[in-house]
Amino acid sequence: MSTINDTRPAEALRDGDLGAEQERADVKPLGGIAGWLDDRTGGAKPTSHFLKKVFPDHWSFMLGEIAMYSMIICLLTGVFLTFWYVPSMTQVVYDGSYVPLQGITVSDAYRSTLNISFDIRGGLLIRQIHHWGALIFVVSVFVHMTRVFFTGAFRKPREINWVLGTLLSMLACIEGFAGYSLPDDLLSGTGIRAMNGFVQSIPVVGSYVSYFIFGGAFPGEAIIPRLYSVHVLLLPAVLVGVFTAHILFVVIHKHTQFPGPGRTNNNVVGYPLMPVYMAKAGGFFFIVFGIIALVSAVVSINPIWGYGPYDPSPITAGSQPDWYMGFADGALRLLPGFLEFQTFGFTWSMNIFPGSILLLPLMWGIIGVYPFVESWVTGDKREHHLLDRPRNAPTRAGIGVAGITAYTVLLFASGNDLMAIKLQLSINDLTQLFRLLFFVGPVIAFWLTKRICLSLQRADRQKVLHGRETGTIWRYPDGRFEEIHAPLSPFERWALVQHESPEPLRISAEADENGVASPLARVERVRAKLSHFYFSDRVAPPTPSELEAAHHHGDEVDESHLLTGQHEAIDTSETSDSSSTPRETIKADRKRLT
């Protein structure tokens, strides 16, 4: 089933705007409770509009759903945890049921988390669901983000939504960090201690900001209650707000779809929300919940009783933040110590500051600004509702993989000590290797990805021009061998040839007719260079005339001559309209040949 809107979506929304009275006359009044509600809220029309919303089908479109559901799961389990958690750093003596900590002086926050784990029925399971849910939340946000990036779904009109998504991914990480710090165990306390150091590394104002955050010297008594407010009140509110806007934009823009037969820039081919996606998405929620609950029931996460209570003097080997903050931790491990220096009585902690404080806005800033850079370089101001196959945007794919490589190098660097033990390597060598890889890796990754994309495009081109390789080798009477190529169906072919392949922009006249240099010339030159960078290595999809030429001189023509009488199917495909080639003919061919 498909719905086709011939007009642009934004206008389509206003299509039904008639006068209120006429509208009332047009619409059949609802009966029963629905009618009673509609009379008082006017909700029937938007609800019906929403329920008829069409979504395309593809597994990768469900990555965002995983994020949404795990966020909901975290909200639900988080409420449960707040019933027993005490956000206080008051020192108390632990007397609960975990023997190896009995009689130890701990903070109230730590004791209450231990009680949730050992003395509240189901508490540990809920805690583990909350933590695993948080991990998979951030994982799926990032994976969803890569899907959107590589398919070009961030292009006009969806740039704002991309920025909102970028913001969401950053907020998710900060929310995670705040929550991870709450139990006040040794590991999370070490995390707060590290955060204190990061803040202090801010040039000039660092120590003041640290005093402001901690309400005095580290650790003080204020940080846990403050992080608690941020974790359960401020950030969830912002997250849910931005998330609602994110979803609303999906409804307004309509969902993008992969190119295919009948799918155009002006329609959405798929199924309506009611009943199909209500069932599918609803079911998927329970699948996600089920997987998280299953893993939480059998795999331990954050065993705070093992870490022990926070105390500024001890530390444990293998102190790492949760994975989503790992890249910053890795950056810190890679930064050489000699970058710290002193001038004018100030210490410039350039061995810490770039990796901890600067990296976060820098990374998310680059991600957020990318759609605008690309649209400026390409000069493309059109709306795009059809997705790119990643191979059809080789430079973008290369940039994406280069970025992921840099991120992954930092993330892995954060686990350098564990890799050193488990792989029996030297941690110093690993650190040097990661330092090198951080600079070299992205370049290699870019080049490799771009080359792979281009060769995939060439393979597609070959396939369109000469057909699919059947694996059947034919021996000719004169002794030569040739593989039989089967023509593609028009449906298959369409997916391979529909995309655009822009040529690099040329610099428009640098000087006007009087020889006066255009003030925009310099900017234009940069743009032309970037455009050259993006599109100079291009593999254009075959044009209809190329296709025609290939058919006249290609392999199939030979085959069809050769196999005359035996292989009518191929013959007809050559003579008649190309759209009538059924795929079954190849199988039929094989049968007859064998």
Partner 1 sequence: MKALAARRRHPAAIAVLILLGLLVTGGAYSFLAPKQAQATSVTADSVATGKKLFLANCASCHGLNAQGTASGPSLVGVGAASVDFQVGTGRMPLAGPAVQAPQNKVKFDEEQISALAAYVATLGPGPAVPDGEYTTPIVPGDEKAAGQSLTNSERIARGGEIFRVNCAMCHNFAGAGGALTRGKYAPALTGVTPTHIYEAMVTGPQSMPVFNDTNITPAGKQEVISYLDAIDNQTNVGGMTLGNLGPVSEGLFAWIFLLGLMIASAVWLGKKAA
Region 254-313 residues binding partner 1, contact defined as CB under 8 A:
271, 276, 280, 283-284, 287-288, 291-292, 295-303, 306-308, 311, 313
* 8-state DSSP, 508: P
Nearest-approach distance from CB 38 to partner 1, in angstroms: 28
Token pair for 462: 């070959």
- Binding to partner 1, residues 168-197 (CB under 8 A): 186-187
Nearest-approach distance from CB 558 to partner 1, in angstroms: 38
Stretch of 99-107, 242-250, 343-351, 477-485 contacting partner 1, by CB under 8 A: 99-107
DSSP β-ladder status, 91-93 and 105-107? antiparallel
Nearest-approach distance from CB 290 to partner 1, in angstroms: 9
The interface mask with partner 1, positions 453-472, x = CB under 8 A, is: --------------------
Length reported for the chain: 594
C-alpha span between 400 and 364 (Å, rounded) = 13
Decide: helix, strand or coil at residue 474: strand
Stretch of 132-140, 195-203, 223-231, 493-501 contacting partner 1, by CB under 8 A: 132-140
Stretch of 20-28, 93-101, 436-444, 526-534 contacting partner 1, by CB under 8 A: 93-101
Among 43, 215, 314, 582, contact with partner 1 (rule: CB under 8 A): 314
Stretch of 117-125, 198-206, 228-236, 579-587 contacting partner 1, by CB under 8 A: 117-125
- Binding to partner 1, residues 483-542 (CB under 8 A): none
Nearest-approach distance from CB 492 to partner 1, in angstroms: 19
The residues facing 4 across adjacent strands are 267
Burial class (CB in 10 A: 0-12, 13-18, 19+), 4: exposed
Does residue 238 belong to the site contacting partner 1 (CB under 8 A)? no
Decide: helix, strand or coil at residue 194: helix
Residue (101 or 497) nearer to partner 1, CB: 101
Among 80, 84, 118, 258, contact with partner 1 (rule: CB under 8 A): 118
Among 124, 163, 359, 484, contact with partner 1 (rule: CB under 8 A): 124
C-alpha span between 463 and 271 (Å, rounded) = 31
Q: How many residues bind partner 1 (CB under 8 A)?
A: 74
Stretch of 26-34, 81-89, 219-227, 408-416 contacting partner 1, by CB under 8 A: 408-416
Distant-in-sequence, close-in-space partners of 389: CB < 8 Å, separation ≥ 6: 151, 258, 259, 495, 499
Residue (326 or 467) nearer to partner 1, CB: 326
Does residue 68 belong to the site contacting partner 1 (CB under 8 A)? no
Nearest-approach distance from CB 334 to partner 1, in angstroms: 16
Nearest-approach distance from CB 454 to partner 1, in angstroms: 27
The overall longest dimension of the chain from CA atoms, in Å, is 94
Mind spelling out the 3-state secondary structure of 348-411?
A: EECCCHHHHHHHHHHHHHHHHHHHHHHHHHHCCCCCCCECCCHHHCHHHHHHHHHHHHHHHHHH
- Binding to partner 1, residues 20-59 (CB under 8 A): 57-59
Nearest-approach distance from CB 194 to partner 1, in angstroms: 13
Residue (89 or 292) nearer to partner 1, CB: 292
Among 38, 175, 184, 322, contact with partner 1 (rule: CB under 8 A): 322
Nearest-approach distance from CB 421 to partner 1, in angstroms: 5
Decide: helix, strand or coil at residue 196: helix
Does residue 573 belong to the site contacting partner 1 (CB under 8 A)? no
DSSP β-ladder status, 267-269 and 2-4? antiparallel
Nearest-approach distance from CB 17 to partner 1, in angstroms: 31
Among 18, 204, 252, 315, contact with partner 1 (rule: CB under 8 A): 315
Does residue 110 belong to the site contacting partner 1 (CB under 8 A)? no
Residue 224 CA: distances (Å) to CA of 69, 160, 588: 28, 34, 72
Amino acid identity of 494?
Answer: W
C-alpha span between 293 and 82 (Å, rounded) = 19
Give the position of tokens 């600004």: 369
Token pair for 272: 């309506």
Residue (271 or 370) nearer to partner 1, CB: 271
Nearest-approach distance from CB 77 to partner 1, in angstroms: 15
Reference 498, options 540, 538, 469, 467; nearest CA is 540
Reference 39, options 17, 24, 53; nearest CA is 24
DSSP β-ladder status, 91-93 and 481-486? unpaired
Check if the beta carbon of residue 401 is closer than 8 Å to that of residue 445.
yes
C-alpha span between 468 and 449 (Å, rounded) = 24
- Binding to partner 1, residues 412-431 (CB under 8 A): 414-418, 420-421, 424-429
Residue (328 or 530) nearer to partner 1, CB: 328
The residues facing 257 across adjacent strands are 386
Residue (16 or 283) nearer to partner 1, CB: 283
Reference 436, options 413, 417, 411, 465; nearest CA is 413
Residue (284 or 348) nearer to partner 1, CB: 284
Residue (110 or 353) nearer to partner 1, CB: 110
Does residue 121 belong to the site contacting partner 1 (CB under 8 A)? no
Reference 196, options 82, 356, 351; nearest CA is 356
Nearest-approach distance from CB 411 to partner 1, in angstroms: 8
